[in-house]
Homo-oligomer: A and B are copies of this chain.
């Protein structure tokens, strides 16, 4: 195999100037079709297929690469169905627009100077980033779309979590005034362990997703005249089936037994269904279970999950389109939709 050639060497070989070769690749109108065809064909024969991204991007000031940074670790994110659906939507649009996708790892240490945030032409940020990665990205001055969090200076795509939670809780509580309600909550407090809340934990003005959902649940309960005390609310530190099962087992072996279980994610709700099955608790007859997200698995479980559709896929598409179309002032709030299936009629 011959040594890799660069544009200059190709130009020499073909006995034209570098500008002409460059034009052949980038600006068809700048030369005769005939010459262009010759150049394209012969460079391919020489093993030259186009400019190096580094050089072109240095010169042009843009790379054709879009950076996506996820609040959770990259590795974990690949196991999260919601993140995957979002990525799927993003990827769909980027591929269609011939953009490349750089996955930035949101490391804690600022020391990891790879400078990767300098390459992309724009960013999609999923979830509120901790650390100074966020700041670094803002400093680049490049367009940013925030997904599932809000930042004054950037465009964003969000859903109304409070409203979605209110809707599903209202549905779950509608038939029975004397409900025993338990809540399996995600990331409600700052603890790495599954545990119940205490009453002080309820006072929080946080705008985090999980706090909004909790607020929605509690508002619905209040409207129905139901009370939910702090010890009926579980905190789950991470959206994993294993942790969720632990919490579900605690909740479903507590006394009095809840007959409505509001779960802050479908992963948690699915875990609850498994635990209920294992404990011979009939769903929905003895226990109503609700989820949140509407991940693909939600419609396939037995019983199928009643949940709130937050359109993660569409969210990804929209975020990507906003970024590419440059709507950098838009603050988009997507509709949520109550999806009633068997787990909570």
In the complex with contacts A79-B296, A84-B78, A116-B100 CB distance below 8 A: yes
Please, which residues of chain B bring their CB within 8 A of the CB of A300?
241, 270, 274
Report the copy number of this chain in the oligomer. 2
| A127 CB–B CB distance under 8 Å | no
In the complex with contacts A54-B57, A115-B53, A274-B302, A102-B102 CB distance below 8 A: yes
Q: Which residue of B lies closest to A44 (CB)?
A: B110
In the complex with contacts A101-B103, A296-B241, A116-B53 CB distance below 8 A: yes
| A94 CB–B CB distance under 8 Å | yes
The answer to whether A78 touches B74 (Cβ under 8 A) is no
The answer to whether A118 touches B52 (Cβ under 8 A) is yes
A126 vs chain B, min Cβ distance (A): 13
Please, which residues of chain B bring their CB within 8 A of the CB of A139?
1, 4, 47, 49
The answer to whether B88 touches A75 (Cβ under 8 A) is yes
A84-106: which residues lie under 8 A (CB-CB) from chain B? 84-85, 87-89, 91-92, 94-95, 98-105
B75, B95, B114, B297: the one within 8 Å of A75 (CB): B95
CA A211 – CA B141 in complex, angstroms? 51
B50, B53, B75, B101: the one within 8 Å of A91 (CB): B75
| A136 CB–B CB distance under 8 Å | yes
| A201 CB–B CB distance under 8 Å | no
Q: Which residue of B lies closest to A87 (CB)?
A: B78
Spot the interface stretch: A29-37, A58-66, A172-180, A334-342. Answer: A58-66
The answer to whether A101 touches B100 (Cβ under 8 A) is no
B92, B100, B270, B302: the one within 8 Å of A104 (CB): B100
In the complex with contacts A4-B139, A102-B65, A114-B84 CB distance below 8 A: no
CA A51 – CA B117 in complex, angstroms? 10
| A205 CB–B CB distance under 8 Å | no
Please, which residues of chain B bring their CB within 8 A of the CB of A207?
none
CA A270 – CA B75 in complex, angstroms? 25
| A41 CB–B CB distance under 8 Å | no
Q: Which residue of B lies closest to A111 (CB)?
A: B98
Please, which residues of chain B bring their CB within 8 A of the CB of A101?
74, 102-103, 105
| A119 CB–B CB distance under 8 Å | yes
Please, which residues of chain B bring their CB within 8 A of the CB of A64?
114, 116
| A113 CB–B CB distance under 8 Å | yes
| A27 CB–B CB distance under 8 Å | no
| A56 CB–B CB distance under 8 Å | yes
Please, which residues of chain B bring their CB within 8 A of the CB of A203?
none
A304 vs chain B, min Cβ distance (A): 10
